[in-house]
C-alpha cells in the first residue's frame, strides 16, 4: 500500500538526518538557547528581511497555533477563521480549551476575505459578546488554495483598520510559496502579518515549526507562554539544526516545489478523465471527486483520505504528496487510475 494520506508519513530529509547524527553526542545548553537555534534564527531573520523579528521553535502545528493565539489575546477576545480552518476543525477544540472562541466564517475555497472579516467584526458589537482581535489564515488553506499578494494586502489593511492582529499558519508554507502562480514571499508575510510560522513537520523536518513574531505586543514574555503550554523543548538544538538545514540554502523551497509537482501529475490525470474537484488547488493537496467504483479499485493499493461522501455514487477524496513522494509511485498511481476508470466506466 502506498500512502497519499498525508505529507508527514516519512521521517526527515537525509540532509537533516545527517546533521542530527553529526551533532548527536555534542553537549549543548537546552530549551532553544543553543548556538544551532541562534544560527537558525539569524538565517530566518535574514530570509524575511526583518532583523527585529523574534523567532521561536515549537514541535507541532496545533501547539504553535494555541500558543500564539493564547499569547496574543486577552481572556475575552476571539480569533476569526474560515470555517474550514485548522483551528476550527482539526485541533480538537484546542483554541477553545485555552479560553478563546474561534469565530468560524463560511469561506469560499477556504479563504477569508476583508468582507467576511468585517462581517465578523460588525456582528460582535459590545461587551456582551466576545471581542474579535485576531484573524487566522493558513497559507495554503486547508483545501489547497493560496492567497495572492493582493489578497493578503487587502486582509492586512482590513485588520489594521479594525485593530486586529493577523496570524498566518504556515504548516505547508513551502508548498504555498512555490505553487504555480504564487507571488507571495517570506518578506511579504513579514511585512503584512503580526505573526506567522514556517512549517517543518510537513516539509522535510522530523518535526518542528518556526514561529516568527513581528508585533512587539506578542513578543513580550512569549517564552513564558511556550513553557506554560508545554512547548519548551528541552533538547532544543534538534529544532534549530533542522531549520538551519532547511533554510540555509534553498532546500525548503526545493522540497515544497517537488511536492507540488507530484500533486500536479495526479491533478492532470484526474482532469484527463473528466473529473471535477472540490477546489482548484495548485499545491500538494488535491481534492478530486471520483466515482465510488473507481475508488474501490484504488483502495486496494493506495491510502488516501475520504473528504466528503456524496449520494450520487461519487466521493470527494484528498490525495497528498510530500517532499519524499517518488515520481515512479505517482506514475504508477496515474496508470492505475486510468485502468480503474476503464474497467469501471467503460
Q: Which CATH number fits the domain that encloses residue 267?
A: 3.90.1150.10
Q: Quick one: pLDDT at residue 282?
A: 97
Are 236 and 272 part of one and the same domain? no
Are 238 and 267 part of one and the same domain? no
Number of residues that make up the chain: 346
Task: List all residues 6 or more positions away from 22 whose beta carbon is below 8 Å from its beta carbon.
Answer: none
Q: Quick one: pLDDT at residue 80?
A: 98
Shortest CA distance to 82 belongs to which of 100, 66, 104? Answer: 104
**200, part of any domain:** yes
Are 221 and 309 part of one and the same domain? no
Are 128 and 154 part of one and the same domain? yes
Q: Of 192, 222, 249, which residue sits at a domain end?
A: 249
Are 174 and 288 part of one and the same domain? no
**The domain that contains 133 carries what CATH number?**
3.40.640.10
Domain that holds residue 301: 255-345
Are 289 and 211 part of one and the same domain? no
Using the predicted structure, report yes or no on whether residue 113 has a pLDDT greater than 80.
Answer: yes
Buried/exposed 96-124: b ≥16 CB within 10 Å, e otherwise: eebebbbbbbebeebbbbbebbeebbeeb
**162, part of any domain:** yes
**224, part of any domain:** yes
Q: C-alpha 151: how far from its chain's center?
A: 18
Are 274 and 232 part of one and the same domain? no
Are 221 and 73 part of one and the same domain? yes
Question: Could you report the per-residue pLDDT of 227-236, keeping only the tens digit for each?
Answer: 999 999 999 9
Q: Of 231, 249, 267, which residue sits at a domain end?
A: 249
Q: Quick one: pLDDT at residue 346?
A: 61
**6, part of any domain:** no
**201, part of any domain:** yes
Are 280 and 159 part of one and the same domain? no
**9, part of any domain:** no
Shortest CA distance to 308 belongs to which of 84, 14, 34? Answer: 84
What strands, in cross-sheet order, belong to the sheet with 77-82?
A: 54-58, 209-213, 195-199, 165-169, 131-138, 77-82, 102-105
Q: Quick one: pLDDT at residue 209?
A: 98
Task: List all residues 6 or more positions away from 91 whose beta carbon is below 8 Å from its beta carbon.
Answer: 62, 65, 66
The percent of residues in the chain predicted with pLDDT above 70, rounded, is 99
Q: How many domains, in total, are found in the chain?
A: 2
**4, part of any domain:** no
Shortest CA distance to 136 belongs to which of 59, 187, 93, 83? Answer: 83
Question: Could you report the per-residue pLDDT of 193-213, keeping only the tens digit for each?
Answer: 999 999 999 999 999 999 999
Are 188 and 273 part of one and the same domain? no
Q: What rounded mean pLDDT belongs to the chain?
A: 97
Are 43 and 176 part of one and the same domain? yes
Q: Quick one: pLDDT at residue 108?
A: 87
Beta bridge partners of 195: 167, 213
Question: Could you report the per-residue pLDDT of 3-56, keeping only the tens digit for each?
Answer: 999 999 999 999 999 999 999 999 999 999 999 999 999 999 999 999 999 999
Q: DSSP string spanning 291-308?
A: EHHHHHHHTTTEE-EEEE
Are 207 and 333 part of one and the same domain? no
**229, part of any domain:** yes
Q: Of 230, 249, 268, which residue sits at a domain end?
A: 249
Amino acid at each position: 500500500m502506498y500512502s497519499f494520506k498525508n505529507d508527514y508519513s516519512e521521517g526527515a530529509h537525509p540532509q537533516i538526518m545527517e546533521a542530527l547524527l553529526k551533532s548527536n553526542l555534542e553537549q549543548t545548553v537546552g530549551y532553544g538557547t543553543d548556538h544551532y537555534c541562534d544560527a537558525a534564527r539569524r538565517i530566518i531573520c535574514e530570509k524575511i528581511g526583518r532583523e527585529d523579528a523574534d523567532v521561536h521553535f515549537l514541535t507541532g502545528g496545533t501547539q504553535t497555533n494555541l500558543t500564539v493565539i493564547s499569547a496574543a489575546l486577552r481572556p475575552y477576545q476571539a480569533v476569526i477563521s474560515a470555517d474550514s480552518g485548522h483551528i476550527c476543525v482539526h485541533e480538537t477544540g484546542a483554541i477553545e480549551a485555552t479560553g478563546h472562541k474561534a469565530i468560524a466564517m463560511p469561506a469560499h475555497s477556504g479563504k477569508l476575505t476583508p468582507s467576511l472579516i468585517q462581517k465578523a467584526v460588525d456582528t460582535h458589537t459590545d461587551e456582551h459578546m466576545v471581542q474579535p482581535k485576531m484573524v487566522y489564515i493558513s497559507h495554503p488553506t486547508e483545501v489547497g488554495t493560496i492567497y495572492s499578494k493582493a489578497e493578503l494586502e487587502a486582509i492586512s489593511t482590513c485588520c489594521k483598520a479594525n485593530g486586529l492582529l493577523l496570524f498566518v499558519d504556515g504548516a505547508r508554507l513551502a508548498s504555498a510559496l512555490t505553487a504555480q502562480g504564487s507571488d507571495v514571499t517570506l518578506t511579504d508575510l513579514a511585512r503584512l502579518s503580526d505573526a506567522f510560522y514556517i512549517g517543518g513537520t510537513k516539509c522535510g523536518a522530523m518535526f518542528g515549526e518556526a514561529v516568527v513574531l513581528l508585533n512587539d505586543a506578542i513578543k513580550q514574555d512569549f517564552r513564558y507562554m511556550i513553557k506554560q503550554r508545554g512547548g519548551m523543548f528541552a533538547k532544543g538544538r534538534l529544532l534549530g539544526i533542522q531549520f538551519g538545514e532547511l533554510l540555509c540554502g534553498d532546500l525548503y523551497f526545493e522540497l515544497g516545489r517537488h511536492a507540488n509537482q507530484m500533486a500536479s501529475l495526479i491533478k492532470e490525470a484526474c482532469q484527463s478523465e473528466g473529473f471535477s474537484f472540490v477546489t482548484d488547488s495548485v499545491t500538494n493537496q488535491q481534492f478530486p471527486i471520483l466515482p465510488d467504483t473507481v475508488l474501490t479499485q484504488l483502495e486496494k493499493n493506495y491510502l488516501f483520505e475520504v473528504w466528503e461522501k456524496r449520494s450520487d455514487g461519487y466521493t470527494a477524496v484528498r490525495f497528498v504528496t510530500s517532499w519524499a513522494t517518488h515520481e515512479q509511485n505517482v506514475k504508477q498511481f496515474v496508470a492505475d487510475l486510468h485502468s480503474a476508470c476503464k474497467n469501471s466506466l467503460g
